[in-house]
Structure 1
Amino acid sequence: MSALYAMPGNEAMTELLVLHSGIPRRALDLHRFPDGETLVRIEPPPAQGDVAIVCTLDHPDPKLVPLLMAAATARELGAARVGLVAPYLAYMRQDTRFHPGEAISASIFGKLLGHAFDWLVTADPHLHRYRQLGEACPLDARVVHAAPRAAAWVRQHVESPLIIGPDGESAQWANAVAAALDAPCVTASKERRGDRDVRIELPGIERWPAHLPVLLDDIIASGQTMIETLRCLRRHGRPAAVCVGLHGVFAAGAREGLLAAGASQVVTSNSIAGSTALIDISEDLAAAMNELCSDPRPAGNTIPGGTTA
């Protein structure tokens, strides 16, 4: 690959990718006009080289149009293939039509990216009804799993952890971390009554009275499921828990709400930059990126599904 470009807000991750991959970074600038439109300007890529644009996709809507313009401009200026490194991939949770007339956002968003990019690297997309990323995103993809890095952080900072998945969808990540640590794991039962109305139960938690609870989920957004799990732990008389999220999306007030509900610490990966981003997955992202570019396919060629790295 010949160049990396950082969309605004992705500079720190891009510098880590430069460090791990040896691929140089080139300039990308955005100018916002008073009417809300954006002018994208990039340093031209080497002719017929591969380039990657780094853009994590939390709060994606304002980012999307400049990102698509940057990809198109890189291609127009001579890039042979244009890839996207999106440590967090948005819109994957709306993977079916829950109510009549709703958009299936995961499929729409994935196809949009598939038209703009030749390949994709991401970390732990929220795949629930899709078996693999390629069902939503029709392009060559690599999926990095953050669970080993999360497990390493827990091993270093928490003695005798009890890993708790706050709902059934979190079980795959909670079980992976617990297995890496040889630690017990409990999956909470959840009844969701609305965006911020959730009831939690923790069956069997009394079996591990001496273990420190570690709540683990792939995404912390509103934080409400974790907040209700913390309240359930308090009802059981358990000590303050550590909350670990692979992706810290954090709606307004979510982190503060977790701490107020009794979390001793809130930790996430650096898929999204922030004060909680203490688990570094950049080396794994760089390895996946290099793997895609070490065996390049012709521009526009895709494979049926994303593979793991």
Structure 2
Amino acid sequence: MTAPLLFNLDSDPDLATRLRNALDAEAGALEQRHFPDGESYMRVHSDPKQRDCLILCNLYRPDERVLRLLFLSHTLRELGARQVGLITPYLPYMRQDKRFHPGECVSSRPFAQLLSAAIDWLVTCDPHLHRYDSLDQVYTLRSQVVHAAPMIAQWIRDNLNQPLLIGPDSESEQWVAEVARLADAPCQVLTKERRGDYDVSVSLPNVDRWRNHTPVLVDDIISSGRTMLETISHLQSAGLPRPTIIAVHGLFAGDAYRALSAVSDVVTSESIPHPSNGISLSAALADAARHLLDGPE
């Protein structure tokens, strides 16, 4: 059987290489540039006819990348690809899952419709499923979700002594508890009140019995970092050791990373390329993609 083609659309080249090797895929040749008016030019130099095509496109800045992703998937299908799959370690527009105020766009739904029409299947890592039970509630394509909990737990076991896992809010409870179970570590989950993007308060954790443990703050997404900073302030006041922060997706808006790294050790998965990356996802992403490649066309 002909090897699949893997196209790297402006994403981590090291991750692309490891995925390509794990999947025995061939690198797809792609030419991209911009016209003087800013419009995108794209040309596929590898023949995709009757071949499985994979696109690695990390969508952590979706508004900059989605149009080129649509152009590429459309072109591959038009040129005869058997199937077109997307590997995006970070899936955006999942947090806008409810209309909180009149007139708001529930953007997770139109975004899901857009991708579902453009590709045959999707591999991602720990999408922010809060009010949705699964991707199938909004996506109409085949999908595989990679869970980072086993890799995070392994990193904790390998690198930290006497960890106390702390989830910053109720949304994190189920999967922070899973990381704690896999790492064989105690955990606490706090309560959070958000009054704005940068105005967050969290409950004071019960730490008296854990003073000799290393606090490990675990969350799926770090954006503004205000929840983590508020929690760290409480931990410092309680006299606990310098904490470690672990996130699957490190967005780090504004000065979030600088502020967090000044008061904690910060580790993220490679879902979004960043200096804090320390947890590999490539093997799990490749396994998920292989499963979908072997499935129905």
TM-score band, normalised by the shorter chain? Answer: over 0.9
The Cα shift of 1:274 comes to: 1.5
Q: Is 28-37 or 10-19 further displaced after alignment?
A: 28-37
The Cα shift of 1:158 comes to: 0.7
Q: Is the contact made by 1:126 and 1:218 (CA closer than 8 Å) also made in structure 2?
A: yes
> Is 1:163 the equivalent of 2:165?
yes
**TM superposition score normalised by structure 1:** 0.93
Q: Distance in 1 between matches of 2:180 and 2:197?
A: 28
The Cα shift of 1:72 comes to: 0.5
Q: Distance in 2 between matches of 1:43 and 1:232?
A: 56
Q: Is 64-73 or 197-206 further displaced after alignment?
A: 197-206
Instruction: Report how many residues are paired.
Output: 295
Q: Is 118-127 or 245-254 further displaced after alignment?
A: 245-254
Q: Indicate the residue corresponding to 1:145 in structure 2.
A: 147
Which residue of 71, 74, 77 maps to 1:75?
77
Q: Indicate the residue corresponding to 2:32 in structure 1.
A: 30
Superposed counterparts of 1:187-198, under 5 Å: 187-198=189-200
Q: Is the contact made by 1:120 and 1:141 (CA closer than 8 Å) also made in structure 2?
A: yes
Q: Is the contact made by 1:270 and 1:277 (CA closer than 8 Å) also made in structure 2?
A: yes
Q: Is the contact made by 2:211 and 2:239 (CA closer than 8 Å) also made in structure 1?
A: no
**TM superposition score normalised by structure 2:** 0.96
Note the alpha carbon deviations across 1:73-131, whole angstroms, 9 max, x for none. 11111102111101100010000111111111111111110000000000000000000
> Is 1:178 the equivalent of 2:152?
no
Which residue of 101, 104, 107 maps to 1:105?
107
Q: Is the contact made by 2:213 and 2:241 (CA closer than 8 Å) also made in structure 1?
A: no
Q: Is the contact made by 2:212 and 2:240 (CA closer than 8 Å) also made in structure 1?
A: no
* 5+ long unaligned stretches in structure 1: 298-309
> Is 1:50 the equivalent of 2:48?
no
Q: Indicate the residue corresponding to 2:244 in structure 1.
A: 242
Note the alpha carbon deviations across 1:169-202, whole angstroms, 9 max, x for none. 1112211110001111011111111101111113
Q: Distance in 1 between matches of 2:156 and 2:88?
A: 25
Q: Is the contact made by 2:30 and 2:46 (CA closer than 8 Å) also made in structure 1?
A: no
- Which is bigger in relative contact order (C-alpha 8 A, separation at least 6)? 1
The Cα shift of 1:44 comes to: 3.0
Superposed counterparts of 1:91-130, under 5 Å: 91-130=93-132
Q: Indicate the residue corresponding to 2:215 in structure 1.
A: 213
Cα RMSD of the aligned pairs, angstroms, is 1.2
The Cα shift of 1:278 comes to: 0.9
Q: Is the contact made by 2:167 and 2:176 (CA closer than 8 Å) also made in structure 1?
A: yes
